[in-house]
């Protein structure tokens, strides 16, 4: 890779998350850490995948990006989230109001709880549009229609006057995406947006997210526990395990040469549609529970490649093993050739 390409890439960085520590302050002295080391960039107009098992801290990282950690009584203890000259990690609730929604949009996990059940789709979207500046009623309606068409809702004039419960799950999620992009944000955070939806609907939603990226030039963060899904729609991915980012890189690089044993194990445990019947290689044991992380590398007691130095000292940090491909494995270099 040329030096020029590197330079242009780094100027594309929209958000820089460094050494982020998130947890719950239970008493004055007792902190339960949920995310201990989140490190990654979000680049302009990319779809960034965030994969991990439940309890890996991926949802908490998302919440830190839209400033809703407090609602889960969690908070950021250390680290920075640099975004457009601001540090989101230190933002006050008052300041969040000008960021959340207008600069960073959010698509909730369940479209059913995300929408207000007693307001029509048109009213809800209109409210989101009017939030920051005053607009004429006619303009608002036009913009809502525009948005509904943008997310490919057929017959928007009908949907405009419908209530969320009258829509199918897929339609509802489209409305939620429309709501997330009303203010032309730079980033859309989508936390498992297709959980509980059918595969065909999921495929449509993914197509929509891709369009948002390529046509509206927004960055999308897609959270999922489904590696296959991430592989298909994302440009780069971040793999999280036990509150740590263990691997960051482009989807193709991670698929070809995964540099962390956890990613390798995840890849092996997934069903390969092209060769059915091949035994699935499972990951030993269970993911460590929050607050019960082992010393050293948190994957060490489930890892097939574990060495003596893996189980002592600190949790290893991400290292750029190859250009633009980071791994938190102490022995990442040696893993280089062991993919697929």
Partner 1 sequence: MTITGAGTADWFDVKGTVPTPKNAKRLKDGTIGLITGLFLLVALLVLGIVVPLLSPFEVEISIDTPFLPPSGTYWFGTDGLGRDVFLRVFSAVYLDLGVALIGVLIPFCLGTIVGIGLAVSRSKTLNAVAGSIIDGINAFPLLVLAIALIALLGPGLQSVVVALSVTNWARYARLARTRALVVKQQGYIEATQTLGYSKPRTLFKHLVPNVSSETTAYALSDLILVILLIAGLSFLGLGAQPPTPEWGAMISDGRPNFQVAWWPVIFPGLALCWAGVSLSFIAEGLTRRERDVKS
Partner 2 sequence: MSDALIEVRDVSVTFGSGSRAVRAVRQVSLHIEKGEAVGIVGESGSGKSTLARVLAGLQRPNSGEVRFAGESIYQRGKAYRGENRRLVQMVFQDPYGSLNPRITALSAVSEAVRVHGVGSRKDAIAKSLELLGRMGISERDAGKKPRQLSGGQRQRVSVARALSAQPSVLLADEPTSAIDQSAQAQLLNLFRGLLDGGLSIALVSHDLGVIRYLTQRVYVMKDGEFVESGLTVEVFDNPQQEYTKQLIASIPGRELHKALS
Residue ranges that bind partner 1, judged by CB under 8 A:
10, 16, 18-21, 23, 26-27, 29-33, 36-37, 39-41, 77-79, 291-295, 314-315, 317-320, 326
Beta carbon of residue 195, minimum distance to partner 2 (angstroms, whole number): 9
Of partner 2, partner 1, none, which one sits near residue 315, judging by CB under 5 to 8 A according to partner kind? Answer: partner 1
| Dist. CA 26–CA 330, nearest whole Å | 33
Cβ closest to partner 1, residue 37 vs residue 257: 37
Closest separation in Å from C-beta 321 to partner 1: 12
Q: What is d(CA 150, CA 154) in angstroms, rounded to the nearest whole number?
A: 10
Nearer to partner 1, 293 or 305 (CB): 293
Q: Which does 191 bind (CB under 5 to 8 A by kind): partner 2, partner 1, none?
A: none
What residue 27 binds from partner 1, partner 2, none (CB within 5 to 8 A, per partner kind)?
A: partner 1
Give least dist CB 294 to partner 2, A: 16
Q: How many C-beta atoms surround the C-beta of residue 294 within 10 A?
A: 15
Query: Cα separation of 292 and 38, whole Å?
Result: 18
- Residue 7 interaction partner, one of partner 2, partner 1, none, beta carbon < 5-8 Å per kind: none
Q: Please name which of 154, 207, 216, 155 lies closest in space to residue 180, comparing C-alpha atoms.
A: 216
When the beta carbons of 209 and 239 are compared against partner 1, the nearer one is: 239
> Burial code of 70-90, b = ≥16 C-beta within 10 A, e = fewer?
eeeebebbebbbbbeeeebbe
Q: State the binding partner of 272 from partner 2, partner 1, none, CB within 5 to 8 A by kind.
A: partner 2
Q: Minimum CB separation from partner 1 for residue 34, in Å?
A: 10
d(CA 125, CA 129): 6
* Residue with smaller CB distance to partner 1, 196 or 291: 291
Minimal distance in Å, beta carbon 324 to partner 1? 8
Nearer to partner 2 among residue 3 and residue 199 (C-beta): 199
Return the number of the residue (2 or 274) whose C-beta is nearest partner 2: 274
What residues line the site for partner 2 (CB under 8 A)? 53-54, 169, 198-203, 206, 225-229, 231-233, 255, 265-266, 269-274, 276-277, 279-283, 286-287, 340
How far apart are CB 292 and partner 2 at their closest, in Å? 12
How far apart CA 187 and CA 180 sit, in angstroms, is 9
Q: Are 134 and 154 in contact (CB under 8 A)?
A: no
Of 281 and 319, nearer to partner 1 (C-beta) is 319
The alpha carbon torsion through 82, 246, 109, 170 (nearest 10 deg) reads 110
Residue 286 interacts with which of partner 2, partner 1, none, CB < 5 to 8 Å by class:
partner 2
Provide the minimum distance between the beta carbon of 103 and partner 2 in the complex, in angstroms, as a whole number.
29
Please, which residues have CB within 8 angstroms of residue 104's CB and are 6 or more apart in sequence?
65, 66, 83, 185, 186, 187, 188, 189
Q: How far apart are CA 288 and CA 119, in angstroms?
A: 42
Question: How far lies 52's CA from each of 26, 43, 81, 138, 188, in Å?
Answer: 25, 20, 20, 44, 19
């Amino acid at each position: 890779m040329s030096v020029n390409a590197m330079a242009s890439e780094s100027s594309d960085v929209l958000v820089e998350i460094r050494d982020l520590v998130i947890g719950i302050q239970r008493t004055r002295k007792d902190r339960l850490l949920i995310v201990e080391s989140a490190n990654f960039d979000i680049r302009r107009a990319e779809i960034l995948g965030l994969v991990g098992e439940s309890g890996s801290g991926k949802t908490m990282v998302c919440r830190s990006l839209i400033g809703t950690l407090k609602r889960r009584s969690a908070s950021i203890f250390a680290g920075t989230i640099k975004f457009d000259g601001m540090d989101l990690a230190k933002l006050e609730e008052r300041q969040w109001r000008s960021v959340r929604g207008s600069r960073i949009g959010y698509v909730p996990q369940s479209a059913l709880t995300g929408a207000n059940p007693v307001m029509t789709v048109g009213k809800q979207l209109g409210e989101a549009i009017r939030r920051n500046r005053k607009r004429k009623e006619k303009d608002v309606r036009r913009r809502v229609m525009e948005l509904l068409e943008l997310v490919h809702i057929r017959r928007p004039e009908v949907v405009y006057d419908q209530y969320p419960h009258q829509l199918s799950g897929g339609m509802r999620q489209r409305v939620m995406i429309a709501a997330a992009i009303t203010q032309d944000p730079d980033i859309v955070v989508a936390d498992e947006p297709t959980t509980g939806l059918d595969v065909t609907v999921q495929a449509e939603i993914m197509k929509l997210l891709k369009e948002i990226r390529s046509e509206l030039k927004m960055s999308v963060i897609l959270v999922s526990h489904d590696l296959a899904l991430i592989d298909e729609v994302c440009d780069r991915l971040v793999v999280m395990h036990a509150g740590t980012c263990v691997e960051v890189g482009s989807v193709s690089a991670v698929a070809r040469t995964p540099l962390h044993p956890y990613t390798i194990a995840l890849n092996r445990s997934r069903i390969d549609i092209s060769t059915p019947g091949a035994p699935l290689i499972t990951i030993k044991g269970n993911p460590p529970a929050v607050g019960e992380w082992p010393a050293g590398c948190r994957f060490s007691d489930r890892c097939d490649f574990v060495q003596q130095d893996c189980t002592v000292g600190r949790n290893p940090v991400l290292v750029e093993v190859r250009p633009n491909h980071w791994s938190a494995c102490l022995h990442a270099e040696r893993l280089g050739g062991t993919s697929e």
